């Protein structure tokens, strides 16, 4: 079996890549047998997600992506890996996460990467510095410096994947706000830029052309209809996931969903001249049946723990500096949360029962997973996140952590209105939504939280299990 660089070696190399060696990226296309098929794996709109989602079926993460790619590469030889942009995270203060995303994409041998307005959220200087540091091959054909009219990053690149010369280029929408650098950057109308870039790529000998699009669904489809010569488009920017892609005239389109929960696998059949004759693609779910690549997992965990710690320190400082303002905010004139301890003083039996439920352990779950400083995890696992008197990282942690009385009954200062409010399924679904709790069924779940325990408790649907997938033994375990 053909072997690629072992991961420890790759990890050693990334240090080199950071100080300036571009070699690692070049290693992505291992020389394959003259292939009649070109395989292109893709992600899009990953939004800074480094590990699996906190959903009930945790999907995605770099470690699974890495082992899935290993198995693809073992099976198909030359496989190109691309990302169509939108990989920067959404929260503020997440610059470190953005930088880690880029390093790790290089570590996974990503061949070409598109970009959009998300990647410009911390300004052009930040992105440029990270590209220089990591050597991530970012392309965008229609983002120009307003003054010089020169492209801001490479417009495109040509790379040999197996024996096929593949041209990659990126486009972003000209209808978006380009963030802090809006005065110095210009997004050109995409059709003209695409026509020009496709011609240039053909001139450089590319026989297959791939567009990494941050144009959104409709604009991407219009573009490949208007501009001939694009064989594959990875459609990104708020695009719903389609299990199987489809042909738009002569272009195969791949709709990859978001947050790195799936990997798109596009298979292009090639003529002897290396041109696409037909193609199909399908989204592969990165669920718990996909093993986690141990070294990549270690890198991700190392980053996340340090980052969580840093966020916690920052939040504490912020809370401390606002301490004065907070006291007046907690004044009785504003409705606010009180915490379960206050309720327990009078409602002892309800409080005792509550302590036996999973809700009373919801915070511990986040602490155990070392995600207790992440703004995308906290809201459903605490009381009143960022609301008056609600949970803030730091001093209040003990008092307002967990899913408590007020998550269901409402703010304690509204106590006299409790009698008028019925708790319904909608109360639960604010947290037990389709993503976090797909197995939720009010009729089965409600008896479990009832303050007076019913004689017979219905059994809850099984938690999504990690079933052994056929063939998973070969995935990633060979390294």
Query: Minimum CB separation from ligand HEC for residue 138, in Å?
Result: 27
CB nearer ligand HEC, residue 217 or residue 409 = 409
Pairing of strands 143-145, 185-187: antiparallel
222 CB-near residues (< 8 Å, 6+ apart): none
Comparison of 177 and 368: residue with beta carbon closer to ligand HEC:
368
Of 225 and 348, the one with the shorter C-beta distance to ligand HEC is: 348
**Rounded distance, CA 132 to CA 130, Å?**
5
Question: How many angstroms separate the CA atoms of 81 and 112, rounded?
Answer: 7
With 0-12 CB in 10 A as exposed, 13-18 as middle and 19+ as buried, what is 46? buried
- Neighbouring C-beta atoms of residue 97, cutoff 10 Å: 21
Of 431, 428, 463, 422, nearest to 445 (Cα)?
Answer: 428
Compute the least distance from the CB of residue 297 to ligand HEC, in Å. Answer: 15
CB of 460 to ligand HEC, least distance (A): 5
CB of 424 to ligand HEC, least distance (A): 8
- Nearest distance, CB of residue 475 and ligand HEC, angstroms: 23
Sheet holding 276-285: strands in order across?
A: 112-113, 79-83, 37-43, 262-270, 276-285
The DSSP annotation for 219-273 comes to HHHHHHHHSTT--EEEE-SS----SB-EEETTEEEEE--STTSEEEEEEEEE-TT
**H helices present in 135-250, as ranges:** 190-203, 217-226
Q: Which is nearer to ligand HEC, 169 or 440 (CB)?
A: 440
CB 366 within 8 A of CB 381: yes
State which residue, 90 or 433, has the beta carbon closest to ligand HEC. Answer: 433
Question: Token pair for residue 233?
Answer: 């488009």
Measured from the CB atom, the residue of 21 and 431 that comes closer to ligand HEC is 431
DSSP 372-399: TT-TTTSGGGBSSTTSTT---SSTTHHH
Q: Nearest to ligand HEC by Cβ — which residue?
A: 54
CB of 79 or CB of 371, closer to ligand HEC:
371
CB of 96 to ligand HEC, least distance (A): 17
Cα–Cα distance measured from residue 12 to residue 17, given in angstroms and rounded to the nearest whole number: 9
| Closer residue to ligand HEC in complex, CB, 241/385 | 385
Shortest separation between residue 434's beta carbon and ligand HEC, angstroms: 9
Q: How far is the CB of 436 from ligand HEC (least distance, A)?
A: 4
Q: Residues in the site for ligand HEC, rule: CB under 6 A?
A: 53-54, 56, 338, 340, 342-347, 350-351, 354, 358-359, 361-362, 365, 369, 371, 374, 376-377, 379-381, 403-409, 412, 415, 418-419, 422-423, 427-428, 430-433, 436-437, 439-440, 445-446, 448-449, 451, 460, 463
């Amino acid at each position: 079996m053909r072997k690629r660089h072992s991961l420890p070696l790759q990890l050693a190399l990334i240090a080199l890549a950071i100080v300036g060696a571009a070699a690692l990226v070049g290693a992505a296309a291992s020389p394959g047998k003259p292939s009649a098929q070109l395989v292109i794996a893709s992600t899009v709109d990953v939004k800074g997600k480094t590990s699996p989602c906190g959903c009930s079926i945790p999907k995605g993460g770099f470690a699974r992506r890495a082992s899935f790619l290993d198995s693809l590469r073992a099976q198909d030889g030359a496989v190109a890996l691309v990302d169509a942009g939108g990989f920067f995270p959404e929260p503020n203060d997440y610059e470190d996460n953005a930088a880690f995303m880029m390093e790790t994409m290089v570590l996974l041998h990503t061949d070409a990467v598109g970009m959009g307005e998300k990647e410009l959220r911390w300004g052009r200087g930040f992105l440029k510095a990270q590209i220089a540091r990591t050597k991530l091959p970012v392309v965008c054909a229609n983002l120009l410096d307003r003054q010089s009219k020169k492209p801001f990053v490479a417009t495109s690149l040509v790379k040999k994947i197996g024996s096929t010369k593949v041209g990659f280029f990126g486009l972003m929408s000209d209808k978006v706000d380009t963030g802090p650098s809006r005065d110095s950057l210009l997004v050109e109308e995409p059709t003209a830029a695409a026509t020009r870039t496709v011609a240039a790529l053909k001139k450089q000998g590319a026989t297959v052309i791939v567009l990494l699009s941050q144009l959104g669904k409709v604009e991407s489809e219009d573009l490949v209809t208007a501009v001939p010569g694009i064989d594959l488009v990875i459609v990104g920017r708020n695009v719903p996931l389609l299990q199987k892609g489809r042909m738009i005239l002569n272009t195969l389109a791949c709709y990859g969903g978001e947050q790195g929960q799936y990997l798109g696998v596009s298979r292009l059949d090639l003529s002897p001249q290396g041109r696409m004759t037909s193609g199909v693609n399908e989204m592969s779910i990165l669920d718990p049946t996909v093993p986690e690549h141990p070294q990549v997992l270690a890198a991700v965990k190392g980053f996340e723990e340090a980052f969580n710690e840093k966020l916690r320190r920052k939040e504490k400082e912020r809370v401390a500096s606002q301490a004065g303002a907070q006291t007046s905010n907690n004044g009785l004139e504003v409705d606010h949360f009180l915490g379960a301890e206050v309720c327990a003083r009078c409602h002892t039996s309800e409080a005792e029962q509550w302590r036996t439920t999973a809700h009373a352990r919801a915070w511990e779950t986040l602490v155990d997973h070392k995600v207790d400083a992440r703004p995308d995890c906290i809201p459903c696992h605490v009381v009143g996140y960022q609301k008056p008197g609600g949970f803030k990282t730091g001093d209040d942690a003990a008092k307002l952590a967990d899913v408590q009385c007020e998550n269901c009954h409402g703010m304690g200062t509204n106590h006299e209105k409790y009698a008028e409010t019925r708790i319904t399924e909608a109360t639960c679904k604010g947290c037990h939504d389709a993503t976090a709790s797909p197995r939720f069924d009010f009729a089965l779940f409600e008896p479990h939280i009832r303050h007076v325990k019913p004689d017979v408790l219905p059994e809850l649907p099984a938690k999504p299990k990690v079933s052994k997938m056929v063939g998973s033994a070969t995935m990633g375990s060979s390294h």
